[in-house]
Structure 1
Amino acid sequence: MDTIKFKQEFTIMCTVTFKAITEKSKGDSTKYNELVDEINRNNFHDASGTKKLRLWIMTFSRATSLLDESCSALVNAILKLDWTGHDNNLVVIYVMFLANLISSHSDYMPKVLGMLVNHFVFRVDKNGTIPLNLENIHGRVHYALKNIFPMVPSGAEELFGILSRGFPHKSESLPAQVTYLKNLLQLLEYIPCLQSQILELIFDRIIELDTEVQGKIEEIEDIEDASTKYELSLHSDQGSLSSCASSVYSKSRFNSPTDSYDGDFDYGSEEDALDIEDSTPSIVALDIGEMIEKLDCMIKLVFDYLKWFFDKGTKNERDDLFDILLTIFEENILYTFKSRYIQFIIFWYVSMDKSYPRQFLSILLNKILSDKEPDIIREAASQYIGSFVGRANYLSSTEIRLCIQALLLWTERYIESYEPTLQLPDPLKHMTFYSIVQSLMYIFCFRWKDLREVTGGIPRWCYEVVGYHKIVNSSFRPLQVCSRNTSDMFQAIVEALQFMNFEKQYSKRFGIIEQGILNISEYFPFDPFRLKTSQPYIEPIYRDWAGMPDKNQVAMEELDFKVIK
């Protein structure tokens, strides 16, 4: 009996719908407007309403061929329905309607994709609480995208544009950033063709936050210590999206939502219906502590995605992802002035395969040693290579020595070319040289144990480091020009290890440096990573400063080593 009644109601609704659309095409919009008003009222929240809504969606699926541009008001009303809050049967029927609609009228694709992506935006209800079914809502949206996207071959660029415009502005709350980014990364799991574009978008947004943090660099360590560690993971089997969002929302410093959710979405005027607006709020003062926590959680989610992809991907897929990350590094990160955190994503992924460190080092060396590169890029690359070799725990002694050998060879040739005409050190003219030498000193401070070997029972320093003596004691006087902290530490370690004999150096640093006109930057990109939520990814592969060589140990072990003179 119920089945018969259901079929009868379905037949009636089909008749009403077809008649309304047909009469509209002939100039009489009365019944069509009544139909639009019926759907716009959205009175489908109880059991009987769900049944009625199911019938309407089935009816509209039957009529999709008629829903051309002239019926956009009706289509907009259908797309504004709260379909994610109903049972699975209705969700399946609704997604089938979306698929039929796009197949019949591809012009609706932007509105359909915009409606779906808009569900990724963080919202709370009128009471300021997160919906308990948030995970189900997002899961159903992913189900819809996964089924609809293959039907629209030209939809990749359209979808990316919508995703890009919907990305929360850096001033938006921590829960807003986490919710959207988490959905964006989960989308990549079934739409991998957007991997390169979306990762570049994500890195760009993280870089925006990273550069904001640098404005108060002297306060950062204290703020990092006071930051919150969040229980956050990308995949629901490790912690549901609802619980993750709730954790972030309840603990975040500013948990006032930018939008609220009451079971219905307001998409604005009909002309703008279902299009995500460009997120460009007015400039506001940003709290450094909140930004650090945003960076921490966002980087953690990116780590989770990269780990998931690496574990499930083929060797070719992992290598392709590495190429994407290297491109992002070369074109974005390397050009970012004194970023503090974003580069650690690259640092981690390089550790995942034995072949990756040499590829990364090769890129840096090529930029450093190429006369065709701008000086600012050569100097940035030298900062990166010094910090990377000093801090990456996964580098082999062979890789460290080959890197040092290449840098020393270049600096020795540079000295041979320019020292004969050098009267006084000229840091402005030879900035690239001093940047490279500073990195060499930094590497030695962290890696001196990797620069020793025993040959034929005789302990000695490896031959690759012979060039240190010539460089340090050259007329360029790097100990007086380079960063005082790095120079002093290098000299102290060298003297403790009796690594070389220093020729007499001027104790006073040059006036041009003392006056602050020039400063050889002491920026090392992989200085300690202190973000609490994402730190577990970095801690096992990171080399902390071990301190000065123990004097007793040096007396027992080091004095037998041959000294380079």
Structure 2
Amino acid sequence: MEPRNNFEAVLGKFRKATRKDYDSFVSKVANPSISDAELVKCLKSLKDCATLLDNEHEVLIGVLLKLDWMRRSSAVVQMYQSMMLNIVSVHTVYLRACLRALIKHFMPVLRPVESKETPEGFVTDEMMAAHNQGFTHVHTLIKTIMKIVPMSSNLLMPLLIDNYPFFTKDVYIQECFMKNLLQITYYKPDLRQSIMELLIEKVIKLDTRAPRSAILEARLQDESQESGIFNMDEETSPVIEYTDKLDVLMVHLFEYIQSVCHKDGELEWEGTKRFYREMLYIFEKVILPTYACCHIQFIMFYLVSFRMQLCDGFLDYLWKLVQNPNVHSVYRQSAVAYMGSLLARAKFVSIRTVMRTVELMMKWAHTYTHTCQDCVMADVVHHGPFYSVCQSVFYVFAFRQKEIFETKAGLKWAKSLQFQHLVQSRLNPLKVCLPLVVKTFASITRQHQLAFCDHIIQQNNRSFLPVDSSSSQTSFETYFPFDPYLLKRSMKYVEPHYRKYDQSVAVDDDSSGEEDEDEMFTDDIPSSEAVDIVTMTGSLVDKTDLMSYGTSPGFKHIL
């Protein structure tokens, strides 16, 4: 039988141990200077002989996978795609290597620029356009491979995980990889949850390396330098670098959530519900157990803002976690912190929802105090979820008190909560909860004659909490996950739905006999390393919102 093309004849000689023509062909294909027309001929020859390219031709396949084919003419692109499809459909042994090579194309090589005035890693519009065109070609090939080789779906996700760029890589590399992974979810929706989980895990690595206190401190330094107070010629700090990367990636996550849940500007409800269920799974698995993050959790804040049913479902899910004694205490405390922060901060949460949820939390807290009547005094170690519920109630009540008392039955409802009974219980939540929350709550409840806390607070200031022998914890701390958002680029997705603390509703504290403690809320407070909930206490207060959990969980001091 006559050879179908010259390369088939070359393969015939190769099988007879004559490698000269074969090696010459491989070198020709690998030559970056080869013309498009000549490359098309070579690729067509390989396509026609795909069935003959068995395990003995790994070197040739390796050369093909390293080709910079996306930047060439459309004829080369189409022929390369056809050739590679023929090879992997016949020889699945090359499938993993092919997918790995395609995934690596999601990380464009940033070639050094010639101009000294151009910063390293600078990407021009022309470069970005070329990269995006190349990404389109890669996705076309991956999508087709997924259709004709079913087993490729099982290989793709592990390869995405293994090849994800390290968080120290250039922000443009991080951005390109994320955008391409999100693009995969449009033609491979069954991988969406796994891809979102991977992306969120990676973003959390940046989030935890850019804590709130460090961001505020870096901004303060920038302001000082701009005002001429300091004249420092220093390189960009790692915190600023991580913050910039985090901000860019958060923009893409918000944009993706918007695009998934909306079609032609309208909310696509069924698709949104499916996406919400996937994100709730990721939230419980990845976000909820992470206590040092400041921003990634806002993707849930943004998602549930689309419709009140989502917000109600999220609150219900969190409340079930809080009530479940089989869930670890740390997760229960974190869940109720999310509840309190969402109820206080979200503009889309109605006051009716706030009152209904606070009422549920108070009923649970009262029931808990009845079951712990034998307790002699406060015990942070054994009753962490209880104190978290109390603190969230105090926080939300103080934050939304103006709206509560503006309702027709607001005062009557507030009296029905029986705050006095709770604060006088032997568990003594006023002793354990954060001082600024306690002060604000005490001031408001005193004004409306709902509870009288001052005497209890004074007694607590003269005593100390007992310390469990297995723990060095002497006070209770938690954080409110939806404290003010600090990333400038992505803030536009959060700001329209976000409630800042209204300082005009602050109540004057007329109590006497206490030392004025205004200064303690502006002093640096070190973060605690020995608490069940790892805190994000910072050393600076965000000047844009005194409810920020910088040196406190959020209330402007009242005294």
Q: How far apart in 2 are the matches of 1:157 and 1:497?
A: 62
Q: How far apart in 2 are the matches of 1:225 and 1:135?
A: 37
Q: How far apart in 2 are the matches of 1:149 and 1:21?
A: 29
2:444 and 2:507 in contact (8 A); partners too? no
Mapping for residues 20-169 of structure 1, pairs under 5 Å: 20-44=10-34, 49-127=35-113, 130=123, 131=127, 133-169=130-166
Q: How far apart in 2 are the matches of 1:357 and 1:20?
A: 66
Residue 30 of structure 1 and its aligned partner are, at CA, apart by 2.5
Per-residue Cα deviation, 1:83-139 (whole angstroms, up to 9, x for no partner): 111122221121111111122112111121112111111321242554352222222
Sequence identity of aligned pairs in percent?
25
Residue 13 of structure 1 and its aligned partner are, at CA, apart by 10
Deviates more, 1:320-329 or 1:20-29: 20-29
Query: Does residue 292 of the first structure (1) align with residue 243 of the second (2)?
Result: yes
Residue aligned with 1:449, SS: helix
Mapping for residues 247-286 of structure 1, pairs under 5 Å: none
Aligned to 1:243: none
**Unpaired runs of 5+ in structure 2?**
114-119, 224-234, 509-559
Ranked by relative contact order (alpha carbons within 8 Å, sequence separation 6 or more), the top structure is 1
Residue 298 of structure 1 and its aligned partner are, at CA, apart by 1.0
Q: How far apart in 2 are the matches of 1:294 and 1:95?
A: 33
Q: How far apart in 1 are the matches of 2:348 and 2:3?
A: 67
1:338 and 1:523 in contact (8 A); partners too? no
Residue 354 of structure 1 and its aligned partner are, at CA, apart by 2.3
1:475–1:335: structure 2 CA closer, same or farther, 3 Å change rule?
Answer: same
Residue 468 of structure 1 and its aligned partner are, at CA, apart by 2.3
2:387 and 2:429 in contact (8 A); partners too? yes
Q: How far apart in 2 are the matches of 1:206 and 1:298?
A: 7
1:227 and 1:293 in contact (8 A); partners too? no
Residue 469 of structure 1 and its aligned partner are, at CA, apart by 2.8
1:481 and 1:520 in contact (8 A); partners too? yes
Deviates more, 1:496-505 or 1:393-402: 496-505
Letter in 2 for 1:24: F
1:86–1:226: structure 2 CA closer, same or farther, 3 Å change rule?
Answer: farther
1:513–1:502: structure 2 CA closer, same or farther, 3 Å change rule?
Answer: closer
1:492–1:453: structure 2 CA closer, same or farther, 3 Å change rule?
Answer: closer
Mapping for residues 162-561 of structure 1, pairs under 5 Å: 162-214=159-211, 217-223=212-218, 287-312=238-263, 314-419=268-373, 421-452=374-405, 460-462=411-413, 466-502=417-453, 504-507=455-458, 508-509=460-461, 511-512=463-464, 517-549=473-505
Per-residue Cα deviation, 1:311-344 (whole angstroms, up to 9, x for no partner): 1385332211111110111111111123211111
1:526–1:464: structure 2 CA closer, same or farther, 3 Å change rule?
Answer: farther
Aligned to 1:242: none
TM-score (norm 1): 0.79
Residue aligned with 1:460, SS: helix
Letter in 2 for 1:179: C
Q: How far apart in 2 are the matches of 1:504 and 1:484?
A: 14
Letter in 2 for 1:387: S
**Unpaired runs of 5+ in structure 1?**
1-11, 229-252, 255-285, 553-565
Letter in 2 for 1:373: V
1:551–1:318: structure 2 CA closer, same or farther, 3 Å change rule?
Answer: closer
Letter in 2 for 1:333: I
Residue 29 of structure 1 and its aligned partner are, at CA, apart by 2.4
Residue aligned with 2:411, SS: strand
1:428 and 1:518 in contact (8 A); partners too? no
1:401 and 1:464 in contact (8 A); partners too? no
Aligned to 2:554: none
Count of matched residue positions in the alignment of Structure 1 and Structure 2 = 477
Q: How far apart in 2 are the matches of 1:506 and 1:169?
A: 49
Per-residue Cα deviation, 1:141-190 (whole angstroms, up to 9, x for no partner): 22222233211211112111221112111222222211211221122222
Letter in 2 for 1:360: F
Residue aligned with 1:504, SS: helix
Residue 365 of structure 1 and its aligned partner are, at CA, apart by 0.6
Per-residue Cα deviation, 1:276-315 (whole angstroms, up to 9, x for no partner): xxxxxxxxxx811111111111111111111111113853
1:356–1:459: structure 2 CA closer, same or farther, 3 Å change rule?
Answer: closer
Residue 427 of structure 1 and its aligned partner are, at CA, apart by 2.7
2:388 and 2:478 in contact (8 A); partners too? no
Aligned to 1:248: none
Per-residue Cα deviation, 1:392-451 (whole angstroms, up to 9, x for no partner): 1111223212211111011101112223x2333233332221111011101111111343
Residue aligned with 2:430, SS: helix
Cα RMSD (Å) of the superposition?
Answer: 2.6
1:393–1:505: structure 2 CA closer, same or farther, 3 Å change rule?
Answer: same
Letter in 2 for 1:426: D
1:150–1:527: structure 2 CA closer, same or farther, 3 Å change rule?
Answer: same
Q: How far apart in 2 are the matches of 1:514 and 1:175?
A: 52
